[in-house]
Amino acid sequence: MLERTVYSEDHEIFRSTVKKFVEKEIVPFHSQWEKDGVVSREVWRSAGENGLLCSFVPPEYGGPGGDFLHTAIVTEELAKVDASGVAFHLHSGIVAPYILNHGTEEQKKKWLPGMCSGQIIGAIAMTEPGAGSDLAGIKTSAVRDGDDYTLNGQKTFISNGHLADLVITACKTDASAGAKGISLLVVERNDGGFTRGRNLEKIGWKAQDTSELFYADVKVTPDRMIGKENMGFKYLMEELAQERLIVGIRAASTIEAALSETVEYTKGREAFGKTIFSFQNTRFKLAEAKTKATVVRNFIDHCLELHMMEALDANDAAMAKLFATETMCEVLDDCLQLFGGYGYMWEYPIARLWAGQRITRIAGGSSEVMKEIIARTL
């Protein structure tokens, strides 16, 4: 691999802390969380105590006062061990920025300290049964009723949906205006009329609590509006670039983890009197995988550098997500093949990676949507 230059010495010291936390607090328990369909609240609070959450939030709002690269490091280290249930990246890198970048001073002081400590777990609810990548097609509505908004609708495929204490909910405040009528309202755990449906059974990411959410005449005060009314779509578009970069960061580390796992397995497993690694086809497949891993890693690191200079645009982010996830799925399929029948057994990490990472070509904007975004620049 080429030498990485995106992180400073201080960042790498932080990485050592994250690695120790992951090995002690997450790896021993993740298989049980997969059976439970949800991770423990305790690991969230422990992560907050160790400074792993919302790294870029300033100290005045209860944060560590770091930068996005600290969040990227947490994301990488979780991906390396396939800790798919622990959605710190969503909470820190996707949900918190809406409040930090678009919230009022009162909202920042109310919610960010709890999110940094792990006492408040965040989620964002965009997808609906009839609207996924087409955000303009959402039906959840918020109608002004006296001093409050009355929120009605349904969301699905919401990560952190079961654990979330705070859900930023995309809704229509002007049903006639399409995308220009979308607003973002914060719904809290104990709001009347807000309920959670079943924890959805998925083919992968089994420890991640992915839920349905229901809003039945939920009363939301105007001070829980993120930004201005009918400006939600604009905020979503602004923050999606970072979300898609995070997906790319996870993919780059996942490719490297899968490659390492497969090299080790093929060097130890024998067939026809010699190791699987000794067959030319195996070496060629792994050589291709290493090349792809190197290219993805360097492209993602370049995008990280652009992002830290506030120069990563929607097109760059779309290319990062598209290339990283599509390449990752190619590599995972090739690696699983080299495991033979064992690669299809859930106890093997490669099986869990192969099943879990398939969603990355859909969530956060499908590969087809990424291609549309990129094609507009041609």
Q: How far apart are the first and last CA of the chain?
A: 32
CA 30 to CA 37: how far, in whole Å? 10
CA 314 to CA 245: how far, in whole Å? 10
Q: Which listed residue (201, 243, 326, 372) is catalytic?
A: 243
Radius of gyration of the chain measured on its C-alpha atoms: 21
243 is annotated as an active-site residue: yes
CA 67 to chain centre: 17
CA 320 to CA 372: how far, in whole Å? 14
Assigned token pair, 133: 């990548």
CA 91 to CA 224: how far, in whole Å? 18
Burial 293-317 (b: 16+ CB within 10 A, else e): bbbbbebbbebbebbeeeebebebb
Assigned token pair, 128: 């609906």
CA 180 to CA 330: how far, in whole Å? 38
Sort strands 122-125 and 166-172 into parallel, antiparallel or unpaired: parallel
CA 347 to CA 359: how far, in whole Å? 20
Assigned token pair, 343: 């690669």
CA 295 to CA 258: how far, in whole Å? 15
CA 108 to CA 41: how far, in whole Å? 22
Catalytic machinery residues: 243
